[in-house]
Chains A and B, each alone.
Chain A
């Protein structure tokens, strides 16, 4: 099968989704990120790898955190970065995506980081750019958010290095979540034996079991003895129609409280991709509590994005080492 993410030698060319990436590449990204974590703690928080390269952040959909961390990552690699909020400019004047891209290529852009509300947008761009240009998907519709999935796995590995012995629960709005999909693919590929999804029926995609996960509708049963609790944001902006009775009702049945967290293993970690709705999917005392690794996730997100860009941008002319 032709995998648009890999070149003829099996090396990463674009990062579009975790689905379809071999374990070897996932581990290469995670291990490389390990080396980048220390760079941020030095006197000079920069390495010269992407000196002279131009990275374009193309955000057709807003996301402050993802855009900022991609921008910091590119700058710490010494790239020049342009961040474009596209829906506010050209698109509103009627320019097509490909015209926007072609204009940036004419300005000698080397890499595109793409966020779009439409599933498949990054794939579409990757299919149209010349061979020396790389595309990173920074979230497309409900489909995929690979760097978020990778940084989540990286965070888990930091706190729970033995992935082959973990029980992971993903809680909340699985239906609208590209993050959940990316996490499930990454965790499965890396050999996590038990993944649970905890959500009301209305927030689960049909046939979610086919992804190899165990489905729970009762959060108390689902959290029992898990090592990792990954909360998802309730995506109000993506919901059409009344899938839930009310936000208060949701917190009562699916919100992560201290009492519920006590059902997980005593050393379980709590994660959230942000932005958090305090008092909706997660109680403030848990978000700020001892088991929360929500802020380390943000820090590691930069290392992961540096690793992905560094792996993509190198070695144009020759073979792999």
Chain B
């Protein structure tokens, strides 16, 4: 394929946009759930950025590692590093907002939804992603994103967190 220069957006700027868009969704009986690892970094930042709204509405939060629910387990096996999922609030009847970094095929979201239902029956689930890179393979799409771009399937977009907690996006292209 012909190479094409892509300018990646600044993740920190995207995070500001995401926080503004997320704010109206933060109502009583809502809970935030970050998906490991990028979604958890984003959630931690959003908890700080929106702390007064979160406190006023008593918004709870948790994390999911979807390793045990992935549909590629039979092909790829278990990740070397898994982290315990931590959902300490009652999922039953809650409006859950899932937070992920890069939305791609929708398979991670499906795994996260399956896991959530093993904790209880939520009232609703919505999805917030920092960036939608296109290429979904399931009838799932994020309700809120800070940016939408289109990438080729040999490109891998990742959220990186440096030692100071600053977020950035990194694009890797593999040869086909």
User: Quick check: is B84 within 8 A (CB to CB) of the other chain?
Assistant: yes
Q: How far does the Cβ of A9 sit from chain B's closest Cβ, in whole Å?
A: 10
User: Quick check: is B119 within 8 A (CB to CB) of the other chain?
Assistant: yes
> What is the bound-complex CA distance between A299 and B83, given in angstroms?
19
Known A-B contacts A42-B119, A43-B120; the reply to A35 vs B65 at CB < 8 A is yes
> What is the bound-complex CA distance between A319 and B120, given in angstroms?
34
> What is the bound-complex CA distance between A31 and B119, given in angstroms?
22
> What is the bound-complex CA distance between A47 and B66, given in angstroms?
10
> What is the bound-complex CA distance between A311 and B86, given in angstroms?
21
Q: A292-321 interface mask toward B, CB cutoff 8 Å, 1 = contact, 0 = none?
A: 000000000000000000110011111111
Residue of A nearest to B83 (CB): A35
Which residues does chain A contribute within 8 Å of B86, judged by CB atoms?
Answer: 38
User: Quick check: is A34 within 8 A (CB to CB) of the other chain?
Assistant: yes
Residue of A nearest to B121 (CB): A43
User: Quick check: is B82 within 8 A (CB to CB) of the other chain?
Assistant: yes
Q: How many residues of B contact A (CB 8 A)?
A: 26
Instruction: Establish whether residues A35 and B85, one from each chain, have CB atoms under 8 Å apart when the complex forms.
Output: yes
Known A-B contacts A37-B84, A38-B84, A39-B68; the reply to A32 vs B78 at CB < 8 A is yes
User: Quick check: is B75 within 8 A (CB to CB) of the other chain?
Assistant: yes
User: Quick check: is B76 within 8 A (CB to CB) of the other chain?
Assistant: yes
Known A-B contacts A315-B74, A316-B74, A318-B75; the reply to A32 vs B85 at CB < 8 A is no
User: Quick check: is A48 within 8 A (CB to CB) of the other chain?
Assistant: yes
Instruction: Establish whether residues A321 and B77, one from each chain, have CB atoms under 8 Å apart when the complex forms.
Output: yes
> What is the bound-complex CA distance between A112 and B162, given in angstroms?
44
Give the size range of A's interface with the partner. Answer: 20 to 34
Which residues does chain A contribute within 8 Å of B73, judged by CB atoms?
Answer: 49, 314-315
Instruction: Establish whether residues B77 and A314, one from each chain, have CB atoms under 8 Å apart when the complex forms.
Output: yes
> What is the bound-complex CA distance between A293 and B120, given in angstroms?
31
Q: Of B68, B91, B115, which one neighbours A310 at CB under 8 angstroms?
A: B68
Chain B interface, DSSP helix/strand/loop, else mixed: loop
User: Quick check: is A278 within 8 A (CB to CB) of the other chain?
Assistant: no
Which residues does chain A contribute within 8 Å of B81, judged by CB atoms?
Answer: 28, 31
Residue of A nearest to B86 (CB): A38
Instruction: Establish whether residues A35 and B67, one from each chain, have CB atoms under 8 Å apart when the complex forms.
Output: yes
Chain A interface, DSSP helix/strand/loop, else mixed: loop
Q: How far does the Cβ of B31 sit from chain A's closest Cβ, in whole Å?
A: 15
**Contact residues, A159-195 vs B (CB, 8 A):** none
Which residues does chain A contribute within 8 Å of B91, judged by CB atoms?
Answer: 43
User: Quick check: is A260 within 8 A (CB to CB) of the other chain?
Assistant: no
Question: Which of B65, B78, B91, B118 has most chain A Cβ within 10 Å?
Answer: B78
Instruction: Establish whether residues A315 and B114, one from each chain, have CB atoms under 8 Å apart when the complex forms.
Output: no
Which residues does chain B contribute within 8 Å of A46, judged by CB atoms?
Answer: 118
> What is the bound-complex CA distance between A49 and B65, given in angstroms?
14
User: Quick check: is A11 within 8 A (CB to CB) of the other chain?
Assistant: yes
Residue of B nearest to A314 (CB): B77
User: Quick check: is B152 within 8 A (CB to CB) of the other chain?
Assistant: no
Q: Of A11, A35, A48, A320, which one neighbours B82 at CB under 8 angstroms?
A: A35
Instruction: Establish whether residues A35 and B77, one from each chain, have CB atoms under 8 Å apart when the complex forms.
Output: no
Instruction: Establish whether residues B77 and A311, one from each chain, have CB atoms under 8 Å apart when the complex forms.
Output: yes
Instruction: Establish whether residues B80 and A320, one from each chain, have CB atoms under 8 Å apart when the complex forms.
Output: yes
Q: How far does the Cβ of A221 sit from chain B's closest Cβ, in whole Å?
A: 40
Which residues does chain B contribute within 8 Å of A311, judged by CB atoms?
Answer: 77-78
Known A-B contacts A43-B120, A315-B74; the reply to A321 vs B80 at CB < 8 A is yes
Which residues does chain B contribute within 8 Å of A47, judged by CB atoms?
Answer: 68-69, 115, 118
Which residues does chain A contribute within 8 Å of B5, judged by CB atoms?
Answer: none
Q: A43-B118, A314-B74, A316-B75 are in contact. List 10 more A-B contacts (CB 8 A).
A: A32-B82, A34-B82, A34-B84, A35-B84, A38-B86, A311-B77, A314-B73, A315-B74, A315-B75, A318-B76
24 A-B pairs with C-beta separation under 8 A: A28-B81, A31-B82, A34-B82, A35-B65, A35-B68, A35-B82, A35-B84, A35-B85, A42-B87, A42-B118, A42-B119, A44-B118, A47-B69, A48-B68, A310-B68, A311-B77, A314-B76, A315-B75, A315-B78, A317-B74, A318-B75, A319-B76, A321-B77, A321-B79
List the interface of chain B (C-beta within 8 A of A).
65, 67-69, 73-87, 91, 114-115, 117-120
